[in-house]
Amino acid sequence: MQEKNPLRWWILLTVILGTFLGRLDQTVVNLALPKIITDFSITVSAAGWIATAYILANAVFVPVWGKLGDTVGRKRVYLLGFGIFIVGSALAGLAWNLPSMIVFRIIQAIAGSADYPTAMAILAVTFAEGKERAQALGIWSSSFAAAAVFGPLIGGPIIDTLGWRWVFLMNIPVGIIGIIMAIIFVEESKNDRIPAAFDWWGAIVLGGALSSLVLVLDQGTSWGWTSTNSILCYICVAVFTTIFYYIENGHPEPIVDLKFFRNPTFVGTLVNNFIVFMGMMGSIFLIPIFGQTFLGYSATESGYLFIPMAAGLIFAAPIGGALTGKVRTSYVIAASTLVAAVGLFLFSYLDARSTPISIMIPMFIMAFGLGFGMSQRTNAVAAAVPPHEIGVASSVLALARNIAGAFGIALFGTLLNNTTNSNVLAIARNSSVNLQNATTDATQTMQTYIALIELKAQINAYDTVFLAASVLLFLGAIAALWLHVPERKLATPIIVEG
């Protein structure tokens, strides 16, 4: 039996710090965009490429870092990524125009993408005992989602008091602390098999496929889903994916081992993760818009609405780990998804008279559901693959979550727009105005009439979107009942260097 690492909880705290900082950076930068637009004298659409460039680079390099971590050493890759991230943050804080900002954000994204696959593999190796591993992975996974919640709470005051550049510069001292902790606490681990050759062509082709997919998901709403740009992206995704399939089948050390996708546990868990994160990211995207548009909240007040979400994630994560070995994993994942679906369903009752409690209660329920299932989902992936490929498997999981978020925002945004347009026509057909009894002039009455129709159409559209999302998660909960997760500990073909 493998001896427990006495520093294992310090290692958990170390990788949580890295993961939280990297994900926090993404959410906080979005808050800083209005200030950046003013300082650089750029348009809103141009500023959108600051976020798009980060998403693209992050998605492309996640599999590369995961494979490198498994082969050359996870601690080495983790430290390298963290170090480059600090440099990229310093450069972004000193950016002088849009092109320089985009370049520096790409550097940040490339470095930040090293965190997720290596951190998960480090924890999976450090916590070899099943129940403890599930608890550790659950707490760590919650930090991924919590960063999206705390971003508006932390970022707003920093931007208002210190300026947008400190959104990047604050990463430097925190990052240095994280590097020191990693050097002290984290032990090196890697696969003991010597790789025949790194799959550079597979990495390049996969990067082309992912870039095209993420780009169309990010820009499709503004381009139009049937526009020339979108169609070109679809073609690139299909062509690159086909080429990638043939490369991976013939490579001795593929960047993504396609046999993962013949593993029903891996595929089922991946699909459940995709559905859950699509619902979570889609709702996080829409709730602040609803609060500011229809309830009159400021950006800071909208951020406060997410406090219950943070609480739900924090409270629920240890519960999920504690259920390991006591309740069948598939039942926990199914129950988790079902509770999250209930939270999303409650959002479908929002209207212009809703109070903060009307948002906070569903937010807590949804987050609680997400939280107590996160450890089980992450642990299921770790248990479904050989130990020497945990880094690659976790990179696929990270990709699924990132793409799920992009899908959720694109799907929810498109559904919202289309449903609003349909609702306007439907409400207008069944509505009328009596101008004879109007107490104001006809023009003003008609303007009020049209505004009320648009208001009702938009609010009803939000309700429809959240209802559709809850149904999606409900179906995901039912499907999760058929997951079979092997309850095993990690085997030992892993070198741990003291």
Are 158 and 302 within one domain? no
Are 339 and 428 within one domain? yes
Token pair 């998901």 in the structure block, residue: 217
Token pair 């299909």 in the structure block, residue: 238
pLDDT of residue 497: 38
pLDDT of residue 394: 73
CB atoms near residue 325 (< 10 Å): 12
Are 184 and 264 within one domain? no
Residue 496: which pLDDT band, with cuts at 50, 70 and 90? very low
| Cβ atoms of 493 and 387 closer than 8 Å | yes
Instruction: Confirm whether 17 is domain-assigned.
Output: yes
Tell me the C-alpha distance between 168 and 171, whole Å: 6
Tell me the C-alpha distance between 428 and 69, whole Å: 59
Range 370-392 average pLDDT:
76
- Does the predicted TM-score (pTM) go above 0.75? no
pLDDT of residue 344: 92
Residue 342: which pLDDT band, with cuts at 50, 70 and 90? very high
Are 195 and 289 within one domain? no
CATH label of the domain that carries residue 373 = 1.20.1250.20
The set of residues, in sequence order, having a beta carbon less than 8 Å from that of 366 and lying 6+ positions away, is 279, 280, 283, 309, 312, 339, 340, 342, 343, 344
Tell me the C-alpha distance between 286 and 288, whole Å: 6
Are 327 and 183 within one domain? no
Ranked by mean pLDDT, the top range of 66-80, 211-225, 234-248, 385-399 is 234-248
Instruction: Confirm whether 218 is domain-assigned.
Output: no
Range 124-145 average pLDDT:
74
Are 194 and 332 within one domain? no
Range 333-350 average pLDDT:
92
Instruction: Confirm whether 243 is domain-assigned.
Output: no
Token pair 């932390």 in the structure block, residue: 154
Ranked by mean pLDDT, the top range of 1-10, 131-140, 272-281, 378-387 is 272-281
Provide the β-strand partners of residue 188.
497
Indicate the range of 202-216, 231-245, 332-346, 375-389 predicted with least confidence: 375-389
Indicate the range of 84-98, 114-128, 342-356, 379-393 predicted with least confidence: 379-393
Instruction: Confirm whether 242 is domain-assigned.
Output: no
Are 336 and 448 within one domain? yes
Residue 346: which pLDDT band, with cuts at 50, 70 and 90? very high
Average pLDDT, rounded, for the chain: 80
Distances from the Cα of 282 to the Cαs of 99, 120, 126, 285, 402, in angstroms? Answer: 29, 24, 33, 5, 12
Instruction: Confirm whether 493 is domain-assigned.
Output: no
Are 280 and 386 within one domain? yes
Ranked by mean pLDDT, the top range of 107-116, 131-140, 146-155 is 107-116
| Cβ atoms of 419 and 458 closer than 8 Å | no
DSSP 422-459: HHHHHHHHT----GGG-SS-HHHHHHHHHHHHHHHHHH
Instruction: Confirm whether 225 is domain-assigned.
Output: no
Residue 382 pLDDT exceeds 80:
no
Instruction: Confirm whether 233 is domain-assigned.
Output: no
pLDDT of residue 159: 80
**Beta strand segments in 95-172, E:** none
Rounded to a whole number of angstroms, the distance between the first and last alpha carbons of the chain is 18
Read off the tokens for 283: 């709702």
Instruction: Confirm whether 246 is domain-assigned.
Output: no
Range 336-356 average pLDDT:
90
Domain that holds residue 104: 1-199+251-255
Ranked by mean pLDDT, the top range of 241-250, 405-414, 440-449 is 241-250
| Cβ atoms of 386 and 491 closer than 8 Å | yes
Range 464-481 average pLDDT:
90
pLDDT of residue 44: 63
Are 417 and 333 within one domain? yes
Are 178 and 266 within one domain? no
How many domains does the structure of the chain reveal? Answer: 2
How long is the chain?
498
Are 190 and 290 within one domain? no
Q: Which residue has the higher pLDDT, 418 or 345?
A: 345
Are 326 and 409 within one domain? yes
Range 138-163 average pLDDT:
75
pLDDT of residue 3: 62
